Amino acid sequence: MQNLHNAIRAAGLGNQIKVSTATYTGLLITSYPPSNGVFHDNVRGFIEPIIRFLAHCNLPMLANIYPYIGYLGDPNGNLPYALFTAPGTVVSDNDRRYSNLFDAMLDAHYAAQARIGGENVNIVVSETGWPSAGGRGASVENARKYYTNLIRHVKGTSGTPIKPGRSIETYLFAMFDENRKDGAETEKHFGLFSPNKQSKYQLSLN
């Protein structure tokens, strides 16, 4: 990463091209409450130098945030909390209030970073999505709700309780269903479009 960053700067492209890498919630040993977020000891040896490099060079960290996976991980999972449709506060963390799981998961990453020198490293959500079939809570309607509410949320300026007052750069996963993908059935159904290029639902990205 350091060599690539130096080469990009030497080419005069440092303002246009940012060097980073991606992490995900599975690297956290604790994510609840969000302020207790901390990386597993067995990943700290490689993640800490990366985060310190990003902090030194003012570069973002990428994180894959999947509330659907968090919802599945709890047998009593709160579906409205995961879909941004909870009527009010679901989780209280000291003086912070969480009404959606996306913010809670993202803030757990911010808390984990802060513990190893990355308090000021911005996080770009490099992947997030919701499956339209294949498992508990996976339906076309729930996927439509998740994406619609997510887009509205990240384009606003509310931010998260730990990082308020900002929009959240976020990328949707995925454009198309991966009907030949191995693994859980839900893994095949994260696309906004079916493999035949038909849209599953209407979304406004404006």
Which residues are tagged catalytic? Answer: 127
Please give the DSSP secondary-structure letter assigned to residue 11.
T
Of 188, 185, 184, the closest CA to residue 176 belongs to 188
Q: Residue 4 belongs to what H/E stretch?
A: helix 2-10
Q: How many Cβ atoms are within 10 Å of 112's Cβ, its own excluded?
A: 27
Question: What is the per-residue DSSP string for 21-79?
Answer: -EEEGGGEEE-SSGGG-EE-HHHHHHHHHHHHHHHHHT-PEEEE--HHHHHHTSTT--H
Q: How many Cβ atoms are within 10 Å of 182's Cβ, its own excluded?
A: 7
Q: Which residues pair with 199 in a beta bridge?
A: 193
First to last CA, the chain: 34
Q: Which residues pair with 92 in a beta bridge?
A: 97
